[in-house]
């Protein structure tokens, strides 16, 4: 029996070519986002007011958190992203950008590899960035040492994402709707609107933010 694979090979070649183009697009998007972040970081160094400086630094981290996902997509154009890898990169760049080297704040990531569609991973990257940033800037604001832990739990069709710190905790009368800063408002909006999930904040020894959402869109 003879079988002509000409059309099949041509189709595979065309698919591989298109996938290479998609990877290149994600690579360029990642590079462009990093350039924008670098320009904003330079601007932050020139700003005199601390409030404006902090706002620019937070915006830099938000841009870089999106760049993380595009970086992974530049190597894997099929669109599935490992949430654990995203969490690790978010923690690393947040430490680098916001932690005073003299402070002894430890970070840890627990949980299995969890693969999500690119859109879901991007939303999680932004949420993770805000929660880790919030833990550092508010939970650890008056501490020279402490810990921030990111925990991932795979429930099959759903995911639980936890960011916990052992800092000063929330005020006794804290109300998520009334007292949220910009970061928590972003988290709440993305969890409820984009992830169609649930956000819960608790405070005992520090603060614990728990998010649960479905893997599929």
Q: Which tens digits make up the pLDDT trace of 32-87?
A: 888 888 888 888 888 888 888 888 888 888 888 888 888 877 777 666 889 999 99
Confidence of residue 16 (pLDDT cuts 50, 70, 90): low
Q: Is 44 exposed, middle or buried (0-12, 13-18, 19+ CB in 10 A)?
A: middle
In percent, the amount of the chain with pLDDT more than 70 equals 87
Q: Which helix (H) or strand (E) holds 15?
A: helix 6-46
pLDDT for position 152: 96
Per-residue pLDDT tens digits for 17-34 = 666 777 777 678 888 888
Q: Specify the residue for token string 């099949």.
A: 8
Q: Which helix (H) or strand (E) holds 7?
A: helix 6-46
Confidence of residue 15 (pLDDT cuts 50, 70, 90): low
* pTM (predicted TM-score): 0.79
Reduced to 3 states, what is the DSSP secondary structure of residue 72? Answer: helix
Per-residue pLDDT tens digits for 165-213 = 888 888 777 877 777 777 888 889 989 999 999 999 888 788 999 999 9
Between 1 and 154, name the one with better pLDDT. 154
Tell me the mean pLDDT in the region 143-148: 84
For the cut 90, the answer to whether the pLDDT of residue 160 exceeds it is yes
pLDDT for position 211: 95
- H-helix segments, 47-152: 50-73, 83-98, 118-134
Between 111 and 58, name the one with better pLDDT. 111
pLDDT for position 195: 92
Strand partners, 105: 146
């Amino acid at each position: 029996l003879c079988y002509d694979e000409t059309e099949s090979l041509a189709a595979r070649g065309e698919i591989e070519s298109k996938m290479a183009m998609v990877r290149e697009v994600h690579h360029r998007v990642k590079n462009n986002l990093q350039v924008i972040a670098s320009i904003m970081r330079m601007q932050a160094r020139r700003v005199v007011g601390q409030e404006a400086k902090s706002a620019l630094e937070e915006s830099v981290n938000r841009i870089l958190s999106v760049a993380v996902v595009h970086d992974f997509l530049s190597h894997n154009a099929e669109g599935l992203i490992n949430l654990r890898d995203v969490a690790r990169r978010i923690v690393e760049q947040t430490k680098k950008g916001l932690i005073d080297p003299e402070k002894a704040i430890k970070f840890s990531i627990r949980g299995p590899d969890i693969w999500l569609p690119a859109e879901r991973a991007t939303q999680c990257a932004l949420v993770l960035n805000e929660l880790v940033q919030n833990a550092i800037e508010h939970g650890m604001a008056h501490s020279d040492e402490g810990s921030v832990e990111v925990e991932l739990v795979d429930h099959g069709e759903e995911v639980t994402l936890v960011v916990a710190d052992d800092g000063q905790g929330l005020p006794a009368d804290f109300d998520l709707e009334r007292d949220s800063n910009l970061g928590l408002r972003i988290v709440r909006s993305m969890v409820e609107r984009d992830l169609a999930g649930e956000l819960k904040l608790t405070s005992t020894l520090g603060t614990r933010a728990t998010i649960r959402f479905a893997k599929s869109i």
